[in-house]
Amino acid sequence: MKPSIDQKPFRVIFVLLLFILILQVLSIWKPELSGRDSPRVAGIAREMAVTSNYLIPRLNGENFLEYPPLGYWPMAFTLLWSQTPTDFLVFIPIIFFGVGTVLVTYFIGRKLASGRIGLMAGFILSSMPAFISLHRHCRVDPVLLFFITLSLYGFISVYQKDWRKVPFFTVFYLAMSGAFLTKGIIGLAIPIAIAMVFLITRKDFRGIRKLLLNPGILLFFLPLFLWAGSVWWIEGSSILKEVVRQSLQRFLSPSADHAKPFYYYFIPAFLSSMPWTILLFVLLWSRWKPIPQRETGSDDLLLRFTLIWSLTVFIGLSLASAKRPIYLAPIFPPFALLAALGWDYLREKFPKLKRWELYGLLIIFLIYIGIYLFFITPKETKESLRPVFKAVSIQQTRGPIYLVNPSEALRGASFFYLGEKIPVLSLEDLLLGRFEDRSGTTLLLDAYLDDSRYGSHIRSRGYRLILKQKFGKDAICVYSAFRD
């Protein structure tokens, strides 16, 4: 008799690790910073590494208080490995946080159902295009997703076993604290809301009391107090107030950046689990009809927990003001677990499917790698900022460098590639000549400015265009002064 998946967990974990690592590494083959988020986040991480200031995120020398600092730390630490870091270094921790999220999802499935469900959920999650895309850009969201998933694993472990299990309480509170220190209030709101709704649906009011009044909650506050106290001591309370204000405004204010209507996530949520979305409908159909329970029926708890997880996140994010597709990341693990239940139903209903599982995964793997290596990566390389700063670094010895009314991405990329703060000019500074305007001076500006009167003004003062690099829907222009 062949041993079951539950009897050989180490082999299962190794196979899952190998699959996700190969898929993630190949998806970022020859990575370069592109898009609006990656250059900004990489620049903040590089500035932490250069200045050794890990308490307050800074973007080209100015405080950047959208989030607390924890999400930048892993990238900052890897950037310490080299004095002239390559783009690949900032992606290394992102990959490992993705691997961690897949493994925690596997353990949730294994704990609440079986090792088979956990393994299928791990493969499904690691092959979701939305999940892969999230982990091939330099953002803090993969760190947030890992801590939220880990926190919920701690919670469900405590609930299933014993409310007195101190190690799992530690995981729940410390991971939730990590989520808060990564992206602010949302890192606290998601795990605690899911846990509370789950306990309410179980009518476990005693559990709610234990969750909120357990001494272990001090483990949540301890890291927060250490960070907040250090910042207060160094900079005062204004920075802490600004971090909290931005967290609240992003989710409550109708004037927040990326503000969208409440129905914005309906289609992105449906597409985020592709190509596995069909399995969610299979699961719904299988549960709608009365069917015999499989084995011990232990997957009922998993079904309830993941449905509450998915719906709580979806409703909460839909009610928030700021909306972007990447904000949906916390629903990826529960979607994968639900899809695994759907696939498990199909393989029990149609046993012949079992022999095709490995071939199906291999086909999906090859398709993804082909798409990323031959289509997505070359496209992103054409929109990379590396050529811009390669040209700028050549001009660096000839004279000063200025950023003209720069975007956050340009400010972040400048510190990442040049390793120092670059002076910023406003449009008024440019027109009035309030900078060191001499032969060798280099100006960086967005193409929309180049096509306006500001571009004409620059050219009239003896500046020549030395590079124009496509960046998203726009482009970055590099001008240098050539005068006798």
Q: Choose between 47 and 245: higher pLDDT.
A: 47
In a domain, 48, yes or no: no
Q: Are residues 291 and 412 in the same domain?
A: no
Q: How many domains does the chain have?
A: 2
Cβ atoms of 244 and 231 closer than 8 Å: no
Q: Choose between 11 and 156: higher pLDDT.
A: 156
pLDDT at 312 over 90: yes
pLDDT at 2 over 70: no
In a domain, 197, yes or no: yes
Task: Out of 139-148, 240-249, 421-430, give the one with best mean pLDDT.
Answer: 139-148
Task: Show which of 380, 399, 432 is a domain's final residue.
Answer: 380
Cβ atoms of 384 and 32 closer than 8 Å: yes
Which SS3 state, helix, strand or coil, does residue 478 take?
strand
pLDDT at 361 over 90: no
pLDDT value at position 69? 94
pLDDT at 409 over 50: yes
Residue 226 belongs to domain spanning: 5-30+65-380
Alpha-carbon distance of 160 to 107, in angstroms, equals 13
| Banded model confidence at residue 100, pLDDT cuts 50, 70, 90 | very high
Q: Are residues 23 and 139 in the same domain?
A: yes
Q: Are residues 339 and 390 in the same domain?
A: no
| Banded model confidence at residue 294, pLDDT cuts 50, 70, 90 | very low
In angstroms, the first-to-last Cα distance of the chain is 86
| Banded model confidence at residue 204, pLDDT cuts 50, 70, 90 | confident
H-helix or E-strand spanning residue 464: strand 463-471
Q: Are residues 269 and 394 in the same domain?
A: no
Q: Are residues 375 and 423 in the same domain?
A: no
Looking at 141-237, list the stretches that DSSP marks H as alpha helix, in order from N- to C-terminal side: 141-160, 166-183, 185-201, 205-213, 218-235
What lies within 8 Å, CB to CB, of 310 at 6+ separation is 331, 334, 335, 338
Q: What is the DSSP letter of 31?
A: -
| Banded model confidence at residue 79, pLDDT cuts 50, 70, 90 | very high
Q: Are residues 219 and 293 in the same domain?
A: yes
| Banded model confidence at residue 291, pLDDT cuts 50, 70, 90 | very low
In a domain, 56, yes or no: no
Task: Out of 282-286, 318-322, 332-336, give the one with best mean pLDDT.
Answer: 332-336
In a domain, 399, yes or no: yes
Task: Show which of 317, 352, 380 is a domain's final residue.
Answer: 380
Task: Show which of 323, 355, 380 is a domain's final residue.
Answer: 380
Structure tokens at 442: 């280099």
CATH number of residue 412's parent domain? 3.30.110
Structure tokens at 319: 């009610």
pLDDT at 378 over 70: no
Q: Are residues 109 and 244 in the same domain?
A: yes
Q: What is the DSSP letter of 43?
A: H
Q: Say what percent of the chain tops pLDDT 90.
A: 34
Q: Choose between 286 and 98: higher pLDDT.
A: 98
Cβ atoms of 199 and 211 closer than 8 Å: yes
In a domain, 57, yes or no: no
Q: Are residues 340 and 375 in the same domain?
A: yes
- DSSP string for residues in 350-417: SGGGGGGHHHHHHHHHHHHHHHIIIIIHHHHHHT-SHHHHHHHHHHTTTS-EEEES--HHHHHHHHHH
Cβ atoms of 408 and 47 closer than 8 Å: no
What lies within 8 Å, CB to CB, of 42 at 6+ separation is 33, 75, 87, 90, 138, 412, 413, 416
Q: Say what percent of the chain tops pLDDT 70.
A: 89
- Residue from 455, 475, 478 nearest 465 by CA: 478
- Residue from 425, 474, 481 nearest 450 by CA: 474
Average pLDDT over the chain reads 84
pLDDT value at position 6? 59
pLDDT value at position 161? 72
In a domain, 71, yes or no: yes
Cβ atoms of 416 and 407 closer than 8 Å: no
Q: Are residues 278 and 411 in the same domain?
A: no
Q: Are residues 474 and 341 in the same domain?
A: no
pLDDT at 324 over 80: yes
In a domain, 39, yes or no: no
Q: Are residues 182 and 287 in the same domain?
A: yes
**Which is it for strands 62-63 and 58-59: parallel, antiparallel or unpaired?**
antiparallel
Q: Tell me what the mean pLDDT of segment 12-26 comes to.
A: 83
In a domain, 223, yes or no: yes
Q: Tell me what the mean pLDDT of segment 386-406 comes to.
A: 85
Q: Are residues 213 and 301 in the same domain?
A: yes
